[in-house]
Every structure is written in C-alpha cells, then in structure tokens.
Homo-oligomer: A and B are copies of this chain.
Amino acid sequence: MSNAASTPFVRNAWYVAATPGEIDDKPLGRTICGERIVFYRGDDGRVAALEDFCPHRGAPLSLGRVVEGKLVCGYHGLEMGCDGKTIAMPGQRVRGFPAIRSFPVIEKHGFVWVWTGDPAQASEDELPHLHWADDPEWAYGGGLYHVKADYRLMIDNLMDLTHETYVHATSIGQPEIDETPCKTTVEGDSAVTSRFMNDIPAPPFWRMAMRAHGLPDDQKVDRWQICRYTPPSHVMIEVGVALAGHGGYEAPKDKKVYSIVVDFITPETETSMWYFWGMARNFRAQDKALTAQIREGQGKIFAEDLEMLERQQANLTRWPERRLLMLNIDAGGVQARKVIDKLVATEQAAQPAAA
C-alpha cells in the first residue's frame, strides 16, 4: 500500500492526522494514506511521527511507552528518537541499527498535520490558514469518524448539499435546497460550489442558531451554502441564514447567523478514511454549552451520512465497471477529482521509476 504509483492519494500535502488531545502521554498508532504511523510527543512536547515498526523485531512502537520524550518499544526496550534513529537499547550498541521512516508533522490550528510524501517538499507554508482557529471571536467544536469508503466519496458528499434534503431531512434539509440550482467555479486547484436560497423557511438547525443569536426563528430567511474544496481533501463550507431581504450573505451582522463547516478528510486506505468534521462560528463564541450543543447536533447529522457512504462504496466495489452520472449538482466533486488526478499524475511523473 505504500507504493504511491498505485494509490489515488496526493502525497505531497498536509493531512489532518489527529487532534492534539489524542496524543497525550501514550503513543497513538494510526494509518494515514496506507502508512502505519505512530504519533507521540518528544522531549519538548512536540509531536513526532514515525513508521510504527520497531527495527529490532517488528513490534508496533505504538504499543510502547514515552519516557522522557523517547519512544520506548514495549517489547524489548529499544529507545527510538524522533528522527527514526535508535537512541539506545539495553545491553546493545545501536549505531548500526537501520533507521525507520520519520514523517514531517506539525501541530497547528488545533490539529496535528502529517505529510506522507517527499519530506523535502514539506513546508509549513503549505498548511491551510484557518483564520478562526486562533481568533477569540470564533469558537470551534468537532469530532472524528472512521468511515469505510473511498475518501473521495466524502468530498462528493460535501460538495453537493442537495443530499441534505434526503439524508438530513429533520435537521438541515429542506426541499428548497434541491429546487435551487447551484453553481460551481474553479479557481486554480480549488473548486467552489455555491447555492443561494431566498425567502424560505429556516430548517430546525438554523432556527436554533437564530434563537442562540437573538434573532426571531419564525421568519423567512435568505440561506446560503458555499462549499470550497482545496487539495488534498479539505472542504470548508460557509453556511448561514439572514432575515429575508437584508442582503443575504452580505446582510449586516445583526441580521444573520453563519458559520463554517470544517471537513478534513484523510485517507486511511483506498477504501477507508478518517473524517474530521466540525463547525467554527463567530456568534456567542464564549458559550461553551452552545459549542457542545452544536457539536452534538452536528455529530448526529454527520453520522447520518456514514451508512450511505459505506453502502455506496460496497455497491461501487461490487459493480466496478459502472459509470456514474455527473450532473450539475455533482460538478463540485467532479472538479475536485480532476484536481486530485492532476496532482497525483504530477507526483507520479516526478517519481523515479521503480525497479
């Protein structure tokens, strides 16, 4: 699975691997883009990412312990350094031990990011800028789902929100979504699908948000959804409602409520993914109870997609030769796949030929 030439993964990119709290005093083992990786905190508290394979006898290092910033194998006590080189082992000279692979890793914006491609190309500048992450006027809450489906099915899902009408009928879905055309544009490697619905009733989730924001929840609204894909597989969705007739997306702050749906989709294998979902909002940012309430509601809504995607994957595996339709509503996902295909092709062309 580590043969980049046969996988549909963009490699020279930062993927969200974990949330900081997942990597505490115990190491965390997680497969990212087909690579088994152990994450832990070194001496200075900085996260390190290594192949999860002890060079002594192949035990997973993630079963070990972290002692004074060194990763100690739980089998025979080999001490591993953050660079993949063995530091010490009781009774042994370790100079000739083979190194294991280390992966560039950064902790920033409330996430741990990992790079499984060419380390020489890994630059912090390539990290997405999450303006809300360190802004006290914004609050963020989110979670993690493991989904047994090709990660690109989740991109499709998020770039085409007409599914809300059917999958999320009781929370954010409403018939007006699929009655309103959407528009997809491409800007470089980014794809944007947007939909603006005017003078419609607000669905339950937004009525709650309006009440939380001090707005009346029984009036017609203008609603927007602006889905933005950026490589490798991040989807940020600006969503919101304004009291009808005040300018919609452009309405003054006291007439609207809005937030950003945050989706970091990280391939685990070719048919499974880690799905980091969340919501960033800039109203009542200090209200932790509201953060928890929104997080719980969003968690329930997003869980509704999982069975659909996993069963869709099973169908595609069963009928591999079938062509799918590419309608206007699918344009966002289609454009995202084109970007992925282009980046993968570029990376493969740059690879030395395998023996």
Contact = CB atoms under 8 A, between A and B. Distances in A.
A271 to B, nearest CB: 14
A129 interface: no
A312 interface: yes
Contact of A73 (B36, B73, B166, B179): B166
Nearest to A318: B36
A238 interface: no
A120 interface: no
A315 interface: yes
Interface stretch (A207-215, A326-334, A344-352): A326-334
Contacts of A315: 36, 52-53, 58-60
- Stoichiometry, as copies per complex, reads 3
A55 interface: yes
Contact of A58 (B53, B59, B324): B324
A312 B60 contact: yes
Given A60-B311, A156-B57, A76 B329 contact: yes
Contacts of A329: 76, 91-92
A24 B160 CA distance: 31
Nearest first, the 3 closest Cβ-Cβ pairs linking A and B are: A90-B178, A58-B315, A59-B312
